[in-house]
Structures are given as structure tokens and as C-alpha cells.
Amino acid sequence: MSEELPDDSSEIAAEEPDTGDPVLDVMAALEAERDGHLLDLQRMTAEFANYRKQADRRTVEIGGRVRGDLAEKLLPVFDACDLALDHGAHDVAPIRASLVQALEPVGLEVLDPVDEPFDPNRHDAVLHEPAADGDDTGQVVVEVLRRGYAWEGRVLRPAMVRVRG
């Protein structure tokens, strides 16, 4: 399939000019070669300029992602708090609240979507039940088994949910 490849710019130099004058031929060939090199240089320079812009953009992205990764490592702590609360250890509530208070202003979002429409971008369905007869409200989250978390809009972990419909 390699024969279908687009022309390579350096091949310009390989074309045989024929003016009848050997000096002019050489000149034409050299000019073509020069143009080929210039083209290569322009391409490289452009590619580098573009690469730099991309790199800048990625640096910003990575910065956010690294902070998100750190937050992700804390999720088991959130879970432990939630589960403890579910089991009646109410003393844990202030600890959990202060953890959320510390992280929410810098990018953390808690996903607790009870009664919201099911959205697989943010929710992970692990249980499903059919809708009641005549109910056409679509797929709805009826229970959150484990809260989800997002960081600056990126879902770190979807909420684990039971869906009806």
C-alpha cells in the first residue's frame, strides 16, 4: 500500500530539468533542492510551533489532572466516612464535612444523584429495575449505593447507582 503514499517534497529535486544548457540544468536542480530544504525547514518550524502550543495546553491539563489524582486517592476515605455514617457512626459526619469543605472550593464535586435522570457519563449502574406500568419518566436514579466524585468537571469515579426504567 506504500505506493499510494502522497508525494514527498524532497522528490522535487529528483526531477530532471532539461533546458539544453548544462549550467542552467544544474542551477535548476539546485534551486529545486533548495526549495525542498526550505519547505522542510518551514514544516519543521511550524510543527515545533504547534507542538509548543500543544505542550502548553497539556501542561495546564496535567496540572489539573495531578490534583485530581491526589483527590482520587482520598476517595476511599470518603467512602469509609459514608459507610460509617450509614452504620450509625454519626460522630464521623463533621470529619467528612470538613474534608468536603477543604476540597470543594478547589475543584471537588460530590455526585449524589438521587432522583436525577440516569447519566452514564457520571453514574455507574450496578442494579436495575423495570419502570412501573405507565411510568415513562425515563431512566432515573432511585438509590446511590456509593457517591461519585468529579474534579474540575472530570469524573474521578462515577456514582454507583440503582436505576429504574
List of residues contacting other proteins (CB under 8 A): 1-2, 5-6, 8, 10, 37, 40, 43-44, 47, 50-51, 53-54, 65, 79-80, 83-84, 86-87, 118, 120-121, 123-128, 138-139, 145-146, 154-155, 158, 160, 162-163, 165
Nearer to other proteins, 6 or 94 (CB): 6
Assess contact for 96 and 83: CB atoms under 8 A. no
Shortest distance, position 20 Cβ to other proteins, whole Å: 30
Nearest residue to 15 (alpha-carbon basis) of 41, 33, 37, 40 = 33
Assess contact for 107 and 71: CB atoms under 8 A. yes
Query: Cα-atom radius of gyration of the chain, to the nearest Å?
Result: 31
Shortest distance, position 2 Cβ to other proteins, whole Å: 6
Shortest distance, position 118 Cβ to other proteins, whole Å: 7
Eight-state DSSP code of residue 5: S
Nearest residue to 159 (alpha-carbon basis) of 110, 99, 117, 103 = 110
Nearer to other proteins, 24 or 110 (CB): 110
